[in-house]
Structure 1
Amino acid sequence: MNPTRKLVLAAVAVCLFVLVLVVATAGLMLASEAGESGGGRTPEERVVVLVVVVLAGATVGCWALIRLHALYVAASLRMAEELAATVAYNGLRLPEQSAPELRVLAQAANQLLSVRDALEEDVAERVNEARASLEEERSRLAALMAELSQSVVVCNLDGRVLLYNQRAKQELSGGADGSTLGLGRSIYTVFDRALIEHALERLQQAGRDQAGGEESRKLVGSAQFVTATRAGRLLRAHMSPVLGGDGQHGARVGGLSITGFVLVLDDVTSTNERHGRRDALIQSLIEGGRGPLGSIRAAAEMLSDFSDMPPRQRDRFLSVIRDEAKALSVHLESAAAAFSNDLRERWLLEEIHGAELLDVAVRRIGERREGERRALAVKTEDVDEDLWLRVDSFGLLQALRYLALRLQDEYEVREVRLSLARSGQLAQLDLSWLGTFMNNETAMGWLQDPMTTGGEASPLSVVDVIERCNGEIWFQRVRVSHRAIFRTMLPAAEAPTDLPRAIVAAEEGDRPEFYDFDIFSWSGASHELDDRPLTELSYTVFDTETTGLQPSQGDEIIQIGATRIVNRRLLRHECFDQLIDPRRPLSQQSIEVHGITRELLVGQPTIDTVLPQFQTFCADTVLVGHNAAFDMRFLQLKEKQTGVRFDQPVLDTLLLSAVLHPNQNSHRLEAIAERLGVSVFGRHTALGDAMVTGEVFLKMLPLLAEMGVTTLRQAREASEKTYHARLKY
């Protein structure tokens, strides 16, 4: 109990005692006067009257004191808590008060808050102006990282991830164990710790070897290694150090320190598979050709050594040579057909969506050139939207533009058409036009001449570009439709199963945050968790939806939703959201709360599969929940069944709200959010509740700091002292 409340209760008790004493004195005086006047009441009657008078006076006094306490004391305490919240967050105002005096005080406080908000808005505007250039650089970094074709991961010396791009998230997340790349997570959940430490040792050794001169101290080497992810992909990694200044903590190399490292990753799985296929081709040619060549050689030697061989025997040896030569030819042709793309790939090709390539070609060809009265019209027809190509897109676009503009310049063609269709295992790309006659010799000359367009010359011909793409091109005429065609056959590629999520995020207008450079200063070995400041910890904010409210009586989890807080930021793009098949019926009451029906749970994984994945997601973090005791009870009851134990520290926003605002009537999530100015959305979905809880928790951190609660230990001890901590499930 706080000192103010103790003082108030003591004052109430004194007032009550004085009131009873006054009433009793008055009663005795009345009784004495009545006796002196010779009234007819007996002593017993006078005692009854006195008791009634005393009780009535005491009742009236208690009611008055309780009413005064509610109007002024309790209301003042609530007003103080609400004022603390409004001071912490702009835009909030004190509610209307019942007592006139407190109403005037609240109005004065709201006026001061308005002045404060205006001043802070002015300061914020100036700060925003100062941050404009920084935000621009930040956006450039996000755009650069999203568009890189390589995976990039930056870590501090403890292996904590502080930056990664979309391609890294695609390639390094989602292993068989549910491992996920995320800010503040350990890179050792993806790569073997010994391999990374060995590469770091090589970096440090290279730096020590080069630390002889002032200039060489800046040139710390790099390390390369090849490793396999837990999802089975083969990666080639290039590790470079992140160097700090003389005063920064890190591994010392000469006069500098290594504060972290950068991993640039190339997926060489397909390259390795292609090399394996080439090796298999060579081996098959050796094994498959040895027998036929031996037979042909033996037959040829017999024919050469015995020139007087009888005609029938000679024909038999000639037949052997023909049969073996035919078998060898068939073997070579089948091998060439099976491995032609691998054998002919001499240029670094890219996989591109065919329809996208044609859209770019239409714009490039249809651009009006300087001094040109009318641009060439370009249309597309019969485009296979599902077709992907493996080509040199720049060279192919250059070749198409060269052919189209030469048609316009030399034959006055006003319109060309582009089409793309699948033809067996290949893609058929046609550049066609109507009406203009061209002979085969002219067309072949165009294909073999160096390309020159608009004054820009290239040493390559169209044939060179198409051969670089492992394709073929020719000219043909369709006399029935009076159409002429440059037809190109190109290798088709398989459509990627996972497009970069950066594209989706851009369409939604929400840029993913995948970097946090403050993690450079983290060191997991430097502090005990309980003594770490709350602002330095990483959190997993989670919530569950269940079949009912009785975990000990067989109710089950049907959904787990979670997000993460790293460096006081809610990472909305690093989420865990999974429905779970409870293997038991759902009650209608629970369906009305969360809206999850039995049909939605059909085919979903069971709790045995989901809990290990969730444990991986929240590794090395503090768990945060609202009324977390309820959710943790469900998890604890599954320890024996699943073998998964959640032994992380747990913080509860319900208990922290009781610590911050002990005089409030409600500590429901909606009530807390309203007090702290947090928008409520997605209620009664696990992920939606986790998001709201995370926002509420971030709002609580500065309020806790004002109370002197700054470490995890202090937050847990304060929570344990609240009444709500006694609730059991």
Structure 2
Amino acid sequence: MPKRQFLLGIWMLATGLITFAAILFGALLDSQLTPNPSSRIMLWAAVLLAPTTMLLIGFWLEYKLFSPLRHLQIQFARLAANPDAKDDFKPEGWLSGLSNDFSRLREGWRSDRELLSSAREEGARDAARIRHELEAVLAVLDTPLLLCDKHQRVLMLNPAAKAFFSDHPALGLGRHLQQLLPLPNLTEALKKLPTDGSPRQLLLHHEERWLRCDLRRVRANQGEALLTLTDTTDTHESHQRWRQPLAQLLPELRGHTASLTTTAEALSGSAPDSDIRPKLETAMHEETRILGDLIDQLSRVLESLQLDQTCLSDTWSVDLTSAMTDLWEDKAINITPIGIPAWFSADSPTLLAMLEVLLPTLSDSVAIKAFDIEFCLGNKRIYLDLVWEGQPVAQHTLESWRSLPLSEQPLAPRISDVLSQHNSDWWCLPDHDREHARLRIPLPATDRYAEPDRKTQPRPEFHDFSIAELPPPDSELGSCLLKQLEMAVFDTETTGLKLRDGDTVVSIGACRIINGRLRANEHFDQRVNPGMPIPAESTRIHGLNDDDVRDAPPLAVVLPRFRNYVGQAVLVAHNAAFDILAINLPGQEAGVHFDMPVLDTLLLSRAIDPDLEEHGLDALSERFQITFPAGTRHTALGDARVTAELILNLIPRLEARGIHTLQQALELQATAESVRVG
């Protein structure tokens, strides 16, 4: 029981006993003295003076001493957790004399921190500039890059790598590379990388994709390794398409060429009237015919290789028209995009080069300098239409333009090659108004329809080199420092509180803490279909109803993904007994085990501040000045993020009490009073 409640109980008991004794004593005097009315009033006033004084002394001590002491305790807790916290409690009551000294101590502490912070910022300004330039370069690279320490933990990944592993729950800084690419040959290759920085290459088959992985050791103190990944699946499949026919054709070509050579030599050495000469001529004609057929097959293979569409990529029509507008901005031809934007598949640079050759030719032919460009939906095709005011171009004229080269370089591709590459053709047709004409070029369609997201994303964190200084993954977890732990802070929302009687999870939210830093972008947020109606009283708390989770996956599907997200981290929750029960009960049925250590911010707060009464998430958030963004309270991810901020505020207070390691924190947590749930 908290000490304040104990003292309050003693005071109430003493006041009650004194009041009872005074009333008993007053009644005894009243019966023996039988005073007149005025004397009786004075008698009872004197008798009740003691309990009244006792009661007033209690309120006076609460106002002058106990309440100021509690406020001072909370203020010291704030300063220990976050020295920059504001909204201070000024010393009150009998402690008001400490106000000036406390303010000077607090301001001096904050001033020293500001000076240290200013010096650190000034010293790190050049390093920050270099880091930002490096981040800007990494952000625009299309090649996925990962940097790992000697324990194969991810120290850096660029946005291309994030997009490459976008659906993987184990993506994040500090995660083991084996969780992203569970390939034994990659693990062994990283262990055997030469220290002189010479590269090594691997061809990896992972999740139905062929990946070319370039590895090299970075010449740094921590022995980091840099990985670059290239998805070669399309190229690999393309090579297989032409290697097999070539493997069949080339031996036959060699055989028939040798046979033809032998026949020709025999024919040249035979006499004109020899009986074998007609047979040799027949054999020579037959070999020539077979060679012709084989050469024709070889030309078709080479043509299909030239027309290979592996270099086609999804293209947004607005991007192409913007490039065209910029290209002809200072020229006589005017380009105006019209119609609805669309996605299509194309080799954009080559297509743009073809249009750069085609438009001046078309302009000279129709004597028009202004063109509209429109993208129209077709049957599995997207039509690129060049529209002008006038008559269509004759088909024979279009055929003559097919041979136009894209540049003056020898062997430069021609317009016909670009059309063939896109499995396309072209033709002219009059518009519906008969006043305009259009040149139509069909292009392959894609499965994408939505407009690209052009919103500026917040600057992401995609590197943290301090991870390399963390203890090895195989070190004793209990001896790891709290500020160096990898933590997965999570929260659940459920259909109700009776988990053992059928209530279950409707939402799981989690975020990560690595090396004492909350990773804002590495979160897990998943709604769950509970397979049962959500009671109205639960909906009033977390806001989720049956329609919100109807299309969500069941818990048996979500739990393995959440387990992959947690990885080797320590779990953290507020009132963790409830949330652990919520995932462990169904986890046993799904074969998913959460057997890692668990830190409970509720129990840690009770152990640190046993004298304070409120340890709920709302009370602790107010105490440590942690704010809930609008609409996030009682959402799984919102509560998880506040719990993460809370554990980061509690760690300095634990360290001030000599609690530095996970094992020490678990032992302290065990001393706090817990509540049975479920």
TM range (shorter): 0.7 to 0.9
Partner-residue secondary structure (3-state), 1:448: coil
CA distance in 1, matches of 2:471, 2:111: 40
| Structure 2 equivalent of residue 494 of structure 1 | 446
Structure 1 position 668 matched with structure 2 position 589? no
Structure 1 position 589 matched with structure 2 position 537? yes
Partner-residue secondary structure (3-state), 2:217: strand
CA distance in 2, matches of 1:243, 1:445: 55
| Structure 2 equivalent of residue 317 of structure 1 | none
Structure 1 position 367 matched with structure 2 position 329? yes
Structure 1 position 240 matched with structure 2 position 216? yes
User: Which aligned pairs between 1:560-639 and structure 2 lie closer than 5 A?
Assistant: 560-639=508-587
| Structure 2 equivalent of residue 307 of structure 1 | none
> How far did residue 346 of structure 1 move?
6.2
Q: Label 1:263 to 1:428 Cα distance change in 2 as closer, same or farther (>3 A).
A: same
Q: Which amino acid aligns with 2:213?
A: A
| Structure 1 equivalent of residue 418 of structure 2 | 466
CA distance in 1, matches of 2:466, 2:436: 64
Q: Which amino acid aligns with 2:338?
A: E
CA distance in 1, matches of 2:627, 2:386: 56
Describe the superposition over 1:54-87 as per-residue Cα deviations: whole angstroms up to 9, x where unpaired. 9974774476257425631453243133134146
| Structure 1 equivalent of residue 226 of structure 2 | 262
> How far did residue 119 of structure 1 move?
6.8
Q: Label 1:669 to 1:553 Cα distance change in 2 as closer, same or farther (>3 A).
A: same
Q: Label 1:132 to 1:410 Cα distance change in 2 as closer, same or farther (>3 A).
A: farther
| Structure 1 equivalent of residue 404 of structure 2 | 448
| Structure 2 equivalent of residue 650 of structure 1 | 598
Give the alignment's TM-score, normalised by structure 2: 0.76
More off after superposition, 343-352 vs 599-608 = 343-352
| Structure 2 equivalent of residue 93 of structure 1 | 87
| Structure 1 equivalent of residue 262 of structure 2 | none
Partner-residue secondary structure (3-state), 2:235: helix
Q: Which amino acid aligns with 1:636?
A: N
Structure 1 position 344 matched with structure 2 position 287? no
> How far did residue 553 of structure 1 move?
2.7
| Structure 2 equivalent of residue 709 of structure 1 | 659
Q: Label 1:223 to 1:667 Cα distance change in 2 as closer, same or farther (>3 A).
A: same
* Equivalent pair of 1:79/1:94 in contact (CA under 8 Å): no
* Equivalent pair of 2:209/2:233 in contact (CA under 8 Å): yes
> How far did residue 604 of structure 1 move?
2.6
Structure 1 position 189 matched with structure 2 position 179? yes
Q: Give unpaired runs (5+ residues) of structure 2.
A: 35-42, 251-289
| Structure 2 equivalent of residue 164 of structure 1 | 157
Describe the superposition over 1:70-129 as per-residue Cα deviations: whole angstroms up to 9, x where unpaired. 6314532431331341463324132366x5443564476457646765675576566556
| Structure 1 equivalent of residue 204 of structure 2 | 227
Describe the superposition over 1:270-303 as per-residue Cα deviations: whole angstroms up to 9, x where unpaired. 22333344467779999xxxxxxxxxxxxxxxxx
Describe the superposition over 1:610-633 as per-residue Cα deviations: whole angstroms up to 9, x where unpaired. 222211211200111111111112
| Structure 2 equivalent of residue 521 of structure 1 | 469
Q: 1:149 aligns with which of 129, 139, 142?
A: 142
> How far did residue 160 of structure 1 move?
1.3
CA distance in 2, matches of 1:497, 1:668: 47
Partner-residue secondary structure (3-state), 1:380: strand
Q: Which amino acid aligns with 2:179?
A: T
Describe the superposition over 1:314-349 as per-residue Cα deviations: whole angstroms up to 9, x where unpaired. xxxxxxxxxxx9xx99x99xx97xx99953246972
Partner-residue secondary structure (3-state), 1:638: helix
CA distance in 2, matches of 1:167, 1:703: 40
Partner-residue secondary structure (3-state), 1:158: coil
CA distance in 2, matches of 1:606, 1:473: 49
| Structure 2 equivalent of residue 304 of structure 1 | none
CA distance in 2, matches of 1:690, 1:665: 22
CA distance in 1, matches of 2:494, 2:548: 14
CA distance in 1, matches of 2:392, 2:505: 74
CA distance in 1, matches of 2:362, 2:552: 59
Describe the superposition over 1:436-466 as per-residue Cα deviations: whole angstroms up to 9, x where unpaired. 99886799479625648xxxx9984653772
Describe the superposition over 1:561-595 as per-residue Cα deviations: whole angstroms up to 9, x where unpaired. 11111122222222222222223332221111111
Q: 2:193 aligns with which of 203, 225, 229?
A: 203
Q: Label 1:84 to 1:579 Cα distance change in 2 as closer, same or farther (>3 A).
A: closer
Q: Which amino acid aligns with 1:625?
A: A
| Structure 2 equivalent of residue 272 of structure 1 | 236
The Cα RMSD (Å) is 4.8
> How far did residue 189 of structure 1 move?
2.0
| Sequence identity (%) | 27
* Equivalent pair of 1:152/1:168 in contact (CA under 8 Å): yes
CA distance in 1, matches of 2:462, 2:338: 41
Q: Label 1:441 to 1:578 Cα distance change in 2 as closer, same or farther (>3 A).
A: closer
* Equivalent pair of 2:324/2:352 in contact (CA under 8 Å): no
CA distance in 2, matches of 1:383, 1:74: 68
Q: Label 1:496 to 1:476 Cα distance change in 2 as closer, same or farther (>3 A).
A: closer
CA distance in 2, matches of 1:523, 1:614: 24
Q: Label 1:359 to 1:476 Cα distance change in 2 as closer, same or farther (>3 A).
A: closer
Partner-residue secondary structure (3-state), 1:93: coil
> How far did residue 545 of structure 1 move?
0.6
CA distance in 1, matches of 2:373, 2:211: 38
Q: Give unpaired runs (5+ residues) of structure 1.
A: 28-33, 42-49, 208-218, 249-258, 287-324, 370-374
CA distance in 1, matches of 2:648, 2:161: 28
Give the alignment's TM-score, normalised by structure 1: 0.71
Structure 1 position 377 matched with structure 2 position 339? no
Q: 1:692 aligns with which of 638, 642, 658?
A: 642
Q: Which amino acid aligns with 1:655?
A: L
| Structure 2 equivalent of residue 72 of structure 1 | 65
Q: Which amino acid aligns with 2:418?
A: I
> How far did residue 648 of structure 1 move?
0.9
Describe the superposition over 1:346-383 as per-residue Cα deviations: whole angstroms up to 9, x where unpaired. 697241424134322342234125xxxxx532112355
CA distance in 2, matches of 1:451, 1:443: 19
CA distance in 1, matches of 2:329, 2:235: 38
Describe the superposition over 1:375-406 as per-residue Cα deviations: whole angstroms up to 9, x where unpaired. 532112355613332x1x23332332344356
* Equivalent pair of 2:203/2:213 in contact (CA under 8 Å): yes
CA distance in 1, matches of 2:546, 2:125: 50
> How far did residue 223 of structure 1 move?
1.7
CA distance in 2, matches of 1:686, 1:656: 21
Q: Label 1:244 to 1:121 Cα distance change in 2 as closer, same or farther (>3 A).
A: closer
Q: Label 1:476 to 1:498 Cα distance change in 2 as closer, same or farther (>3 A).
A: closer
CA distance in 2, matches of 1:615, 1:475: 57
| Structure 2 equivalent of residue 256 of structure 1 | none
Partner-residue secondary structure (3-state), 1:243: coil
More off after superposition, 564-573 vs 463-472 = 463-472
Q: Label 1:350 to 1:442 Cα distance change in 2 as closer, same or farther (>3 A).
A: closer
Describe the superposition over 1:660-693 as per-residue Cα deviations: whole angstroms up to 9, x where unpaired. 4333331121221222222212011111111111
CA distance in 2, matches of 1:350, 1:437: 29
> How far did residue 165 of structure 1 move?
2.8
Describe the superposition over 1:178-212 as per-residue Cα deviations: whole angstroms up to 9, x where unpaired. 652221111112333521232124423xx4xxxxx
> How far did residue 435 of structure 1 move?
4.6
